[in-house]
Amino acid sequence: MGVDPTIPVTQPPVRPPAPRPAARRFVGPLVLAGAAALKWGKAALLLAPKAKVLTTSATMLVSVAAYALIWGWRFAVGFVALLFVHEMGHVIQLRREGVQASAPMFVPFLGAFISARSLGDDALAEARVGLAGPVLGSLAAAALVPVGLATGEDFWLALAFTGFLLNLFNLLPVLPLDGGRAMAAMAPWMWFAGFAGLIALTVAFPNPILVLVLVLGGLETWRRWQRRRRGGEETAAYYRVAPRHRAMVAGVYLALVAGLAVGMHATFVERTIS
């Protein structure tokens, strides 16, 4: 029954409630918090994988939007898709090595990356992980060639050329690029040869991305070299690779470099200025 606000009501004096023991005062909030945790905690666990997918999707969309400002949305979508396939090569191989890896994350104008607690148990596993990205990425770029030939559109050949170039650049034998990962199974002096080549490339074609790779490569190469100099059985075991496995890594690496160079030559499209 409601109360008419126009009629004054005389209230009896109210005694303040006796203070409850401290333990009881927290029982109610704790029960509510527990109920909320049971209700929403399960939902949060179920949504966690979806959150990762959403994060990947969001960074992909941001990258597409950024690249579209330069190349248009169609080429931007294709380029980001090629990046995604390349990174998924690393993810698949890491999982084959028994290492959990994150979904690819994209940074506009810097490419994409994944995170993992390690790159495998030894240098050979690291080389396999490093080469898996260019292998899958090269196959994706090569798949665009017959599409371009069938449709007669230079767009597909230009996109394939960009994919070949992307994977060839990643095969530079300097850390932290994929070629540097492959060189973990080879002689360490190749890191310095690759680093010297990257310096020459940066001087010849100044570019902020090359400068960034140069800085990161210098720091990572120095860290690896110091680690090898300090030695220790664990470090020696990590870099111990059988000669036949070294030969296999070298064969895959050289085949990729040669194939990508041929692919770039075959898909080069001369730009015309109207």
For the segment 261-274, what is each residue's pLDDT rounded down to a tens digit? 999 999 988 765 44
Strands 111-113 and 105-107: antiparallel
Kindly give the interhelix angle for 22-71 and 73-96, rounded to the nearest 10 degrees. 130
CA distance 82 to 140: 7
Q: How far is CA 41 from CA 30, 49, 51, in A?
A: 15, 14, 14
CA distance 52 to 103: 7
CA distance 257 to 171: 7
- Contacts by 26-35 with C-beta closer than 8 Å and gap 24+? none
Confidence (pTM): 0.74
For the segment 63-92, what is each residue's pLDDT rounded down to a tens digit? 999 999 999 999 999 999 999 999 999 999
